[in-house]
Structure 1
């Protein structure tokens, strides 16, 4: 039960690390730190909502680029920084090793550590472009403190008292908590150690039964009493046992489900026994708290932080469903790649804050234009957007694209470049019908590539225009 409870401290800690909405910008931020990036993408309230107590952004030289510290860890700030550095050169690698950096691919590390007598859970991942390959520029470490609230919740919703206290390493006196060694004897209390591999810091995990005394009967006596009780208990007492045992079984199953796959299911709160009903209600309240936090973070992982529309990760998930439907049900679809014309010049002339406002306005207009269709609008990266339609009629797609160009220009966002007066967009589109031979061998990246080629032609044609084609089978694919 304690292992399952502690595993809840890991929930959703790393999902924020893989948010495609900010990942490419984070790479640039390590090279050139700016306050605008932190204000837009690293707000304190997001970490507080996720129960993340510290965030440390480091470069390849293990130098601190940016940090967030909750007040619960402010007194341990320097110890935490030293711990990260020491852990990178000792027996435990918290930061990526030189061998991992040389691979230029995503790598991550996580685990429990002891900091100034407190138990923390850390998760570290390398920082590189969202394509998962490229130049590694540093790493992002997130810390969660196993505070008294968690310990109190475990004690409150179980039949044991549980504590985490500072301790010193011992040779063979106390077992390691994560050794998974089974308890082979009943005692009033049990203790384990959680210790660092590279220094002498440790904490002692202690479990105490809430009962003041334990039965001193041997197995023969216990079996005799059980058999005697079975002969005496009436049908009404058997029904009472059922009312008591079944809720406890469901309660235990809910704990196991919550810790193993992250799915938190409530249990029935109405029982004939008041104590079981009270315990069920308290457990459901705890699940509601965890569920709200998990739903919030899951939303962050598929939502673009700036514009509020779907990010690249959400786009890839939707694309998988569309491709599966094309492969198995022969249902066509269409894809548009949309790029804001002369956006770099716009940023240079009006500033990045105006650029952010323009991105939000364009994203909002795109969502409004496709509101009546089975479609998904996503920010692909920078000033690029992508729309997937569950529609394969070329005439309809062309009309929608032309309406989008008109709608963006009618936003009247000033951008005086060349003979232009307003912000405009160029669109490249691909219509994928049901007649493509060997459709199963193609991937969504093949469709995106052809849409991107059409976008390039639209820009060559003078921008603020649309280029559309049917998906063309690729030779020697």
Structure 2
């Protein structure tokens, strides 16, 4: 048998075997696995959406508890007064907290006071009746029961409820002294309408597209929909899945629908199979006729080396001694390219964290450092300080001396700050424009104040000429916020909150004469 005939016979057998293997793998292994993967992905979207609903409601539940466990509110329930309302139950405070309704009742379910946002005026009466249990088919209510009251401890009732064909999140907490136990005076109820803003917020948390619609009549033989907040294991792949949101003690319902990113399983049609087989036949035929083992084996070794190294997420150089010069050249070129790639990667990583002008840490590097500092503060109760620095009258300096001089002044100030802080456990970063930020791992007020004053004095002693406001030299103003260790409720504070507080001190420094430092301690 000639080599040509043997090659054709081998090719035919190979193609038939490959075709059978591909079809077997696709229909018996790949397709079921893909279906299971899609169902699992849709299940994860459902779980993420439920978690996002809970997360969006958490702030309101916490706010209700903060108001409820409060001595002053206990006194107000017993003796309502306009002075207390004007001082503590402020409409703009509820607006900022995205609270649409607030109801206060006594333990006897007597109405005391309410706040209503303009957006829910039309449904306010239905909302209040629902809270008080006047619409319940089983005479149940969100207000605390006799058992809740007799327990003399804080208790909460909350959930998503359908009222007047609208979805609300409602939370009710018993009002009692600040110790969290004692004689219960009544209860406070807060509600938030699940409107477009809240839907967008929940969608942003979960990265899941969903819609909420009114319940429509369904055929008698239709499959009943499960409750959204009950565990529900998905079984089949669909473009969307729907659940009911139903009240616990009346018959009001709404439908929530998740629109999945991937709504169907991949399909392989006959035309695609034929084309794949034809292309495979052509490629294999040409390869067997034209390529020799001196070309195939080196490429296999070349590919194996790359795969073995890439599996460790670290590319390694490939062997470069081959019989064919072209393959040898490719190996050498690949190794050289790999060297250049590592050099460029290191360079780019440096650029992402370094300010191009001053060559100190940029804002992105500041945020990365701040994440570590905040984590230590949360977990290890390690105090620190945040400083915001701004060059005084820098725009005027640019106008008088041109932007090149302004850039040089920025570089000089940055170098001065870096040199001054070299002996401290700190980070100096350019925040933007003529603003700098310094994070010092120290919460000793006197020490931090001394450091800030040293920075201010060091910049002034650069003697960068800038005659304005009676000052001969370029100066800086500094706002300092000292963050003490062992701070209660530290988790509630984010780094950008601390930056705002430091920036507020900077604002005070600039408004009271500039070229000074203003310091405050987080409390």
> What TM-score comes out, normalization by structure 2 length?
0.42
| Structure with greater contact order relative to length (CA < 8 Å, sep ≥ 6) | 1
TM, length-normalised to structure 1: 0.46
Rg: which structure is higher?
2
